């Protein structure tokens, strides 16, 4: 009985999230777009076009976020293992489907996703954080057949 209640709550979360995003982000965004449009009609400035383009981009991000929140993809159980290898290496591996050797460099490219509903930015962000610290990141096979991400630190 308790488990069913938890599952119902979990299934309602994407709808709640979508509602908050829709209201809390869209309302001020709509006001900003309307005022920017009025301003563009009344005045000329080199800054108006980039402003309107930025507002359009924010609207697209909100739409994408709402789409992702509403999809509610089923997440399959995957075990994750984290550990150290030596003094300067940390790894994170799972027992999922793994990453084919010929796709390992591509997984860090913006927009690359193995899931049709994915955004393709998760590993791009990870790679940029790793590079910002001056570390190295490599992908290999996990011992249970999944993917293994190895982080080599500088210290």
How do residues 6-56 score in pLDDT, each as one tens digit?
656 666 666 676 777 777 888 888 899 999 889 888 988 888 888 888 888
At 108 the pLDDT is 86
Average pLDDT over every residue of 56-71 = 78
73 pLDDT above the threshold of 60: no
Name the phi and psi angles at 147, rounded to 5. Answer: -95, 150
CA distance 107 to 124: 8
Strand, coil or helix: 75: coil
Strand, coil or helix: 39: helix
Average pLDDT over every residue of 113-142 = 83
- How far is CA 127 from each of CA 68, 72, 101, rounded to the nearest angstrom? 23, 26, 18
Closest CA to 33 of 41, 101, 106: 41
Q: How many CB atoms lie within 10 A of CB 95?
A: 16
- With bands split at pLDDT 50, 70 and 90, how would you rate the model's confidence at 107? confident
Task: List the structure tokens of 125.
Answer: 């962000």
At 116 the pLDDT is 60
Q: How many CB atoms lie within 10 A of CB 70?
A: 11
Closest CA to 55 of 20, 89, 28, 93: 28
CA distance 5 to 136: 44
pLDDT higher at 122 or 78: 122
Low-confidence winner among 23-32, 65-74, 114-123 (lowest mean pLDDT): 65-74
Average pLDDT over every residue of 111-139 = 82
Eight-class DSSP state of 90: E
């Amino acid at each position: 009985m308790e488990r069913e209640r938890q599952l119902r709550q979990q299934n309602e979360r994407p709808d709640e999230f979508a509602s908050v995003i829709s209201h809390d982000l869209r309302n001020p965004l709509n006001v900003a777009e309307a005022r920017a449009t009025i301003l563009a009609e009344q005045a000329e400035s080199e800054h108006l076009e980039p402003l309107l383009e930025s507002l359009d981009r924010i609207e697209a991000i909100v739409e994408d976020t709402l789409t992702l929140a509403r999809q509610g993809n089923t997440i399959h159980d995957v075990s994750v293992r984290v550990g150290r290898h030596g003094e300067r290496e940390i790894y994170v591996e799972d027992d999922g489907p793994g990453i084919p050797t010929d796709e390992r460099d591509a997984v860090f490219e913006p927009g690359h996703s193995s899931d049709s509903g994915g955004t393709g930015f998760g590993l791009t962000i990870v790679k940029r954080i790793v590079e910002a610290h001056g570390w190295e990141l490599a992908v290999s096979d996990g011992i249970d057949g999944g993917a293994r991400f190895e982080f080599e630190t500088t210290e």
